[in-house]
C-alpha cells in the first residue's frame, strides 16, 4: 500500500491559513491598521472601494521597513515581536503571529510601498497569490502603504460567500471604530468610494468618542476611573436613558486591544439593573490596563477573545465601579444616611392634628371556624358580590363555588368590604358575536370554542401586508409635517439615512441630514403623531444593523412602520370596526403570525373550557 500523507504546497497551506485569519474585507482592514500602529504611525489613512472587494488601501507614516524586512514580512510566521515563547505572555503590540500579511498575499493582489525614515529610496513589492511579481527600489514616502486588490480572486467559493456591500462595509466600519477608539492619540481618516466618512485628529479619549459617535454623545457620557493592583479601569458608560435595543455601542479594551466578553458584559449590565428597560443594552467604552503576564490574547485567530487570570476579581471591580459612577452622577438611586429617618408627611397634611385610630374587635371571631370568613365585618356579602359581578360581566348566573371565588378576590381582614375582581373588563357589543377585551384582545366565538386575536399584532400584520404589496409600484401615501422632526445622529446613522434615502422616500419618509442633525419633514400617513419619534428611532436602528442585506432593508423598514402603526390608539369602538379588522386579517397571507413572527391568534377549545368547570 502506497503512502498517503504528504506535505501541502505552500500556496495551499497559505490559503488554508488565510481562511482562519482573513474571513472578509474587514479582517484585512483590521490587520493592516494594527500593523500601522505597531510601526509607530501618528497618521493613518484608509481608502475603500466597493466595500473592500475592489480595493483596500492603508497608508501610514510609521517607521517603514528595510529591503530585507519588506520581503520577509510576507512569509508565514515571520514576526519582529516574538523571539521566545515567554514573549507571548508579555505582549505590548497588536500583531505577533506573523500570519496576517502571508494570508492576505495568498488570496489577493498586493502592492506594498515602504521606506525607512533615514533612507533616500524605499521599496515596492507586488505579490499575487503568494507569488512575488515585483521587488524593486522606488521613490516612495516614508512609512508604509498597502493596496489590496481583488480579494479572494483565487478562492471564488470564499468570494461568493461575501455579503452585500452594505453588510461588508458595516463590518469594515466596526473594525475601524474599534481601532480608532483604542488610539485617540493617532490621526485617522476613512474614505469609501471617494467619500470621506471620518476625519479624526489626534485628541483626548472623550473627544475621540464624540468624534466617532457624533456630537450628541457629549452629554451622554458618564466617566469612570478606578485603579487597583489587579486592573486600572477608565472610560465612560452612556446614561441609562440612552440604552438601545441593540448592542451597537459596547466597547471593551484591555491594554488598548478590543475584545469581546459576555462575562464582563454581564457585570456591566448588572450594574444597570432597574435603570433600563428589559431587553435593552447599556452603552459603554471601558478601558482596562492589566499586567500582560496575567492575560492570554493567543486563544483565537482574530484575537477578540482573551483569557484573564483574575477575571472574577475584575468582574467585581467592573460591577462596583459602574454602579459607583452611576450613583455619583445622580443617575442611580442612592441612600442618604444623613437624611431625617422619620416618615415623610405630605405637605397638605402637615397642619392637620393627629387622630387616634379607632380599633374594633369582633369577640365572636374564630379563625378555625369554616364560616368565620363570612361572618365578620360584613364579609358575608363577599360571596354575593362575586355572584353579582359574574352576572354583570355576562359570564352566567350560576352561583360560584366557595373555593373558586376565593381565587378571584383578594380579601384582607382589615379591608374586608373592599373586593377586587380580576376578571378582565370586557366591552360586550350588543347583538354581535365578537367583542373587545381590555383594549387588547378580540374574542370571537366559533363552533369549537373561542378565537382570541391579539388586536395590535393583527394590525401590524395587516399594515405590513398592505404596504409590502403596494410600495414597490406605488409610493406609500405621505403627509407633510408642519414642523419637521429633528434628531441628532451619529455619523454612522447619518450615512445610513443618506444611503437609503430613495427607499425611505418610497416608504413615505422624507428628510435631510445636515451637520449630524436629521430633519424629517414628511412621514407615512399610516402613522400617528405620537408614534413618529419612536418610529424614526426604530428605522435608524434597522438601518444601522450591519447584518441586514440591502434587499432586506425595505422589508425591515416596513416591519418598523407596521410596529409603529400598531401602537396607535385602537379604533374598535363598534362591531363594524371589529368585524372589518377580522376580515382584513384573514385576507392576509400568514395571518396567524405577525411580521415579527409572533402569534396573532389562539383558539380556546370548548372541550378545554368545559374541563375548567367540571
pLDDT at site 566? 78
pLDDT at site 533? 85
pLDDT at site 354? 61
Q: Taking the model in full, what pTM does it have?
A: 0.68
286 within 8 A of 224, measured Cβ to Cβ: yes
Architecture, CATH, for domain 454-586: 2-Layer Sandwich (3.30)
Q: Residue 94 region, left (φ>0) first, then alpha (ψ -120 to 50), else beta?
A: alpha
Percent of the chain with pLDDT over 70: 72
Higher pLDDT, 51 or 561: 51
From the candidate CATH numbers 1.10.10.10, 3.30.70.20, 3.90.1310.10, 3.30.565.10, the one assigned to the domain spanning 10-200? 3.30.565.10
Cα angle 163, 168, 169 (rounded to 5 degrees) comes to 150
Residues in the chain: 614
The torsion angles phi and psi of 236, rounded to 5 degrees, stand at -145, 150
At 419, is the pLDDT very low, low, confident or very high (cuts 50, 70, 90)? very low
Residue 429 has pLDDT above 70, yes or no: no
The span from the CA of 129 to the CA of 507, in Å, is 46
C-alpha cell recorded at residue 322: 459602574
Residue range 205-328, CATH number = 3.30.230.10
Residues in contact with 292: Cβ distance below 8 Å, sequence separation at least 6, in sequence order = 89, 90, 91, 92, 255
Q: β-strands 122-128, 131-138: how paired?
A: antiparallel
Please state the domain extents for the chain: 10-200, 205-328, 374-423, 454-586
The residue written with cell numbers 504611525 in the block is: 41
Burial class (CB in 10 A: 0-12, 13-18, 19+), 63: middle
Residue 390 has pLDDT above 50, yes or no: no
The helix/strand count (H/E) of the chain reads as 18, 23
Dihedral of the CA atoms 477, 480, 481, 486 (nearest 10)? 80
pLDDT at site 371? 47
Mean pLDDT within 25-54: 95
3-state secondary structure 386-404: HHHHHHHCCCCCCCCCHHH
Least confident interval from 28-32, 189-193, 234-238, 303-307: 303-307
At 400, is the pLDDT very low, low, confident or very high (cuts 50, 70, 90)? very low
162 within 8 A of 24, measured Cβ to Cβ: yes
- Residue 296, H or E segment: strand 295-296
Mean pLDDT over each residue of the chain, to the nearest integer: 79
557 within 8 A of 520, measured Cβ to Cβ: no
- Residue 576, H or E segment: helix 575-586
Percent of the chain with pLDDT over 90: 36
Range ranked top by mean pLDDT from 360-369, 562-571, 573-582:
573-582
Higher pLDDT, 362 or 377: 362
pLDDT at site 415? 34
pLDDT single digits (tens) 257-278: 999 999 999 999 999 998 888 8
Q: Locate the DSSP E strands across 439-561.
A: 441-446, 449-454, 478-488, 510-514, 517-524
Cα angle 493, 303, 37 (rounded to 5 degrees) comes to 70
Residue 120 has pLDDT above 70, yes or no: yes
pLDDT single digits (tens) 462-485: 988 888 887 767 788 889 998 899
Residue 112 has pLDDT above 70, yes or no: yes
CA 595 to each of CA 158, 435, 469, 536: distance values in angstroms, whole numbers, following the listed order:
32, 24, 14, 18
Amino acid at each position: 500500500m502506497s503512502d498517503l500523507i504528504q506535505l501541502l504546497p505552500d500556496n495551499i497551506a497559505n490559503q488554508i491559513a488565510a481562511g482562519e485569519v482573513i474571513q472578509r474585507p474587514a479582517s484585512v482592514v483590521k490587520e493592516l491598521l494594527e500593523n500601522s500602529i505597531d510601526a509607530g504611525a501618528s497618521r493613518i489613512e484608509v481608502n475603500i472601494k466597493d466595500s473592500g472587494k475592489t480595493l483596500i488601501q492603508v497608508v501610514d507614516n510609521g517607521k517603514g521597513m528595510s529591503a530585507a524586512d519588506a520581503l520577509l514580512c510576507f512569509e508565514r510566521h515571520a514576526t519582529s515581536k516574538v523571539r521566545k515563547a515567554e514573549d507571548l505572555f508579555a505582549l505590548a503590540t497588536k500583531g505577533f503571529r506573523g500570519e496576517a500579511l502571508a494570508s492576505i498575499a495568498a488570496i489577493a493582489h498586493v502592492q506594498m510601498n515602504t521606506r525607512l525614515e533615514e533612507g533616500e529610496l524605499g521599496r515596492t513589492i507586488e505579490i499575487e497569490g503568494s507569488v512575488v511579481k515585483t521587488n524593486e527600489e522606488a521613490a516612495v514616502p516614508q512609512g508604509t502603504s498597502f493596496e489590496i486588490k481583488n480579494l479572494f480572486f483565487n478562492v471564488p467559493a470564499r468570494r461568493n460567500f461575501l455579503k452585500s456591500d452594505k453588510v461588508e462595509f458595516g463590518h469594515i466600519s466596526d473594525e475601524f471604530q474599534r481601532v480608532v477608539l483604542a488610539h485617540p492619540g493617532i490621526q485617522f481618516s476613512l474614505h469609501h468610494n471617494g467619500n470621506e466618512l471620518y476625519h479624526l485628529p489626534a485628541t483626548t479619549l472623550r473627544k475621540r468618542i464624540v468624534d466617532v459617535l457624533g456630537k450628541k454623545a457629549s452629554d451622554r457620557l458618564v466617566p469612570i476611573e478606578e485603579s487597583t493592583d489587579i486592573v486600572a479601569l477608565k472610560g465612560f458608560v452612556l446614561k441609562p436613558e440612552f440604552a438601545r435595543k441593540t448592542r451597537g455601542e459596547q466597547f471593551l479594551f484591555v491594554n488598548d486591544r478590543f475584545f469581546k466578553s459576555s462575562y464582563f458584559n454581564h457585570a456591566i449590565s448588572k450594574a444597570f439593573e432597574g435603570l433600563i428597560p428589559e431587553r435593552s443594552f447599556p452603552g459603554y467604552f471601558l478601558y482596562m490596563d492589566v499586567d500582560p503576564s496575567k492575560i492570554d490574547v493567543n486563544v483565537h485567530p482574530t484575537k477578540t477573545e482573551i483569557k484573564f487570570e483574575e477575571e472574577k476579581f475584575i468582574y467585581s471591580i467592573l460591577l462596583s465601579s459602574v454602579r459607583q459612577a452611576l450613583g455619583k452622577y445622580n443617575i442611580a438611586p442612592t441612600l442618604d444616611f444623613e437624611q431625617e429617618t422619620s416618615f415623610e408627611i405630605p405637605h397638605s397634611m402637615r397642619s392637620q392634628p393627629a387622630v387616634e385610630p379607632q380599633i374594633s374587635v369582633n369577640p365572636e371571631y374564630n379563625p378555625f371556624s369554616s364560616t368565620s370568613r363570612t361572618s365578620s365585618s360584613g364579609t358575608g356579602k363577599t360571596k354575593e358580590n362575586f355572584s353579582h359581578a359574574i352576572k354583570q360581566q355576562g359570564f352566567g348566573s350560576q352561583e360560584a363555588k366557595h373555593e373558586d371565588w376565593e381565587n378571584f378576590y383578594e380579601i384582607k381582614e382589615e379591608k374586608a368590604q373592599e373586593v377586587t375582581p380580576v376578571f378582565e373588563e370586557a366591552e360586550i357589543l350588543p347583538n354581535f358575536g365578537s367583542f373587545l377585551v381590555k383594549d387588547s384582545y378580540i374574542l370571537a366565538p366559533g363552533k369549537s370554542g373561542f378565537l382570541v386575536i391579539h388586536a395590535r399584532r393583527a394590525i401590524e400584520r395587516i399594515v405590513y401586508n398592505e404596504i409590502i404589496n403596494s410600495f414597490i409600484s406605488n409610493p406609500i401615501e405621505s403627509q407633510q409635517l408642519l414642523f419637521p422632526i429633528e434628531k441628532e445622529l451619529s455619523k454612522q446613522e447619518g450615512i445610513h439615512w443618506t444611503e437609503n434615502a430613495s427607499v425611505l422616500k418610497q416608504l413615505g419618509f422624507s428628510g435631510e441630514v445636515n451637520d449630524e442633525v436629521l430633519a424629517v419633514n414628511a412621514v407615512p400617513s399610516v402613522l400617528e403623531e405620537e408614534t413618529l419619534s419612536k418610529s424614526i428611532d426604530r428605522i435608524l436602528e434597522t438601518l444601522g444593523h450591519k447584518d441586514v442585506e440591502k434587499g432586506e432593508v425595505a422589508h425591515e423598514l416596513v416591519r418598523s412602520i407596521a410596529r409603529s402603526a400598531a401602537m396607535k390608539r385602537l379604533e374598535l369602538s363598534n362591531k363594524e370596526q371589529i368585524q372589518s379588522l377580522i376580515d382584513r386579517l384573514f385576507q392576509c397571507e400568514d395571518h396567524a403570525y405577525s411580521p415579527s413572527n409572533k402569534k396573532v391568534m389562539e383558539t380556546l377549545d370548548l372541550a378545554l373550557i368545559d374541563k375548567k368547570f367540571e
